[in-house]
A = this chain, B = another copy of it.
Amino acid sequence: MSDTHSLDALIAALRRLPGVGQKSASRMAYHLLQNDREGAQLLSRALHEASASMRHCERCHTFTQQAVCATCLDPSRDLSRLCVVETPADQAALERTAAYKGLYFVLLGRISPLDGIGPQDIGIDLLFKRACDGVVQEVILATNFTAEGEATAHVVSEGLKSRGLKVTRLARGVPVGSELEYVDLGTIAHALADRR
């Protein structure tokens, strides 16, 4: 066995992180061993604890340590509206606006055929079941306005409409504070079409 096998194993394990190749993985490993062994131990424990304790909320699919997450259990939320987002970070962004009081469904991803991620991988059956509880009146699609986010919104929308649900999408338009001159043409075209 080589005299650096545990370093080699660390570099190989770091490469499993998304976006991390051989070079970044080496740089991360050298940095932790050279300058931040406390960080290495901290990360080791955090990985172990998170992967042992985090599961999916039975209602909204987000990560939680309980059977049902705190948001789904919050009695002050409006049960008639369900907002579909890609990630907990997107949900947090919507929460910061304080403009939405309904509930969420967190896909934890988006449909991406190139990455082998299909509808089943983002909990779409759970979403359909959740949205058809008889209480939800409107499903608001808040997936990203990227090609994959739009494709995901399309698939989700078709499935929900075929089940008789009202489906809306976040408005596309000119960002607040921006000058038209610097806004891309597709955005201006959408803002024109969706004018109110």
Contact = CB atoms under 8 A, between A and B. Distances in A.
A188 B65 CA distance: 60
A43 B33 CA distance: 14
B18 A33 contact: no
Contacts of A34: 108-109
Given A47-B10, A88-B30, A16 B36 contact: yes
B30 A108 contact: yes
Given A9-B49, A33-B54, A44-B47, A70 B26 contact: no
Interface in A36-81: 36-37, 39-51, 53-54, 63-66, 69-70
Contacts of A87: 26, 30
Given A17-B28, A28-B17, A39-B16, A33 B6 contact: no
A32 interface: yes
A132 interface: no
Given A24-B19, A31-B18, A47 B36 contact: no
A84 interface: no
Nearest to A57: B3
Interface in A1-19: 2-7, 9-10, 12-14, 16-19
Given A17-B32, A33-B50, A39-B13, A4 B45 contact: no
A34 to B, nearest CB: 5
Contacts of A50: 6-7, 9-10, 29, 32-33, 40
B37 A51 contact: yes
Interface in A152-190: none
A196 interface: no
The 6 closest A-B pairs by CB, nearest first: A44-B47, A16-B39, A13-B46, A10-B50, A40-B51, A13-B43
